[in-house]
Amino acid sequence: MKTTVSVIKADIGSVSGHCVAHPALIDKCEEVLTDAMESSIIEDFYITRCGDDIDLIMTHKNGELNEEVHRTAYDAFMKATEIARELKLYGAGQDLLSDTFSGNIKGMGPGVAEMEFKERPSDPVIVYCCDKTEPGAFNLPIFKMFADPFNTAGLVIDPSLHDGFKFEVYDVMEHTKVILDCPEEMYDLLALIGSTGRYVIKRVWKKNGEIAAAISTERLNLMAGEYVGKDDPAAIVRAQSGFPANGEVVEPFSFPHMVSGWMRGSHNGPIMPVSQENANPIRFDGPPRIIGLGFQVADAQLIGPVDLFDDPAFDEARKQSSQVANYIRRHGPFEPHRLPSEEMEYTSLPGVMKKLEPRFTKMDE
Ligand SMILES: O=P(O)(O)OC[C@H]1O[C@](O)(COP(=O)(O)O)[C@@H](O)[C@@H]1O
Ligand SMILES: [Mg+2]
């Protein structure tokens, strides 16, 4: 019997502004997921939040895209939204684009990362949750984990990793996808995933087809057709025995790479790896945050988690992230701090441009 890990996340209201999901919302989600566990829809769960996003981490035996599991998550978010409205929380129900659930949660606003696998005798699984950034933020760290020998020593010295991995990449603009082998097609892969706003890594497998990583790739603004906050993705990564070791899975975050999102979803900034307690994007609504939770999955139960960035070894990355934030913030409304124009189409800027449109005249030759 296979086990499925489903991470379904949404921003349904926060305090103050877009900062922190209120504990009452998490309590409500807990209530709904406890009922689902009693009805055997799910086997176990853990709820966390990163900034204003609530992440429901669930295990079950129903496979990916399961209607009952997705409905449970949607119900939890809908019921918690009622509380968010009562408390007049900011952005109550923000990510729920529809009042009625049909089939599965895809395209309805929340982000989904899921994977089904046959449990190994011991199965470490790491879940990452972000705020104030987009799915392409995972391109660089996932590439490093599964394809960069300077990050993952196992690619060189462990025969069970030496063959490399397969990467599935989505073109979120054209709604197409491609699978590329690494290391054979590494340069092709990099040619795509360096464009983080368009090409996003969705899944990684071992060459034998065993699932290694899954990332939520929903682009909320593309779904809603207007600016409704950033997508704030989540990812699931399996570790050890044939996959990168726990430490190789967290190592990419010792470098606070630049991601897009931050203030108004319109700025580039350094991602900051933090503990659950510090997952509060405050300065200029950021800098963008990531938390990492390490579990053992045992007979579909979640053992743990370990709060992986609650480690002084990541202090330097946090400090560097603050220094880079200081530097790039001084650009104010200028690129490359502000996103390039193509990306600004999905923010609130077009509203301002519209007003200026009639005032543009032809230039003299
Ligand atoms: O004041 P408004 O209209 O809610 O919009 C601005 C907000 O949108 C955000 O980009 C939303 O961030 P989230 O994607 O985390 O919800 C904040 O940075 C900013 O405060
Ligand atoms: Mg958010």
User: pLDDT tens, 220-266?
Assistant: 666 666 666 668 999 999 999 999 999 999 999 999 999 999 999 99
Q: Which residues surround ligand 2, an ion (CB under 5 A)?
A: 11, 52-53, 131, 232
- Return the pLDDT at 11: 97
Sequence spans of domains, the chain: 1-118, 119-347
Number of H helices, E strands in the chain: 10, 17
Which one of 148, 227, 231, 232 is the catalytic residue?
A: 227
11 labelled catalytic: yes
Confidence of residue 322 (pLDDT cuts 50, 70, 90): very high
pLDDT tens for 34-61 read 999 999 999 999 999 999 999 999 999 9
Q: How would you class 68 by CB atoms within 10 Å of its CB: exposed for 0-12, middle for 13-18, buried for 19 or more?
A: middle
Tell me the torsion sign for CA atoms 302, 308, 310, 312. Answer: positive
**Ligand 2 centroid – CA 313 distance (Å):** 26
Question: Does residue 107 register a pLDDT over 80?
Answer: yes
187 labelled catalytic: no
Which one of 11, 55, 123, 232 is the catalytic residue?
A: 11
Q: What is the ipTM of this complex?
A: 0.93
The CA angle 200-202-208, to the nearest 5 degrees, is 130
CATH number given to 1-118: 3.30.70
**Ligand 2 centroid – CA 132 distance (Å):** 5
53 labelled catalytic: no
**Ligand 2 centroid – CA 42 distance (Å):** 26
Beta carbon of 134 within 6 Å of any ligand 1 atom: no
Question: Does residue 160 register a pLDDT over 80?
Answer: yes
Measured from the alpha carbon of residue 286, the closest ligand is: 1
Beta carbon of 231 within 6 Å of any ligand 1 atom: no
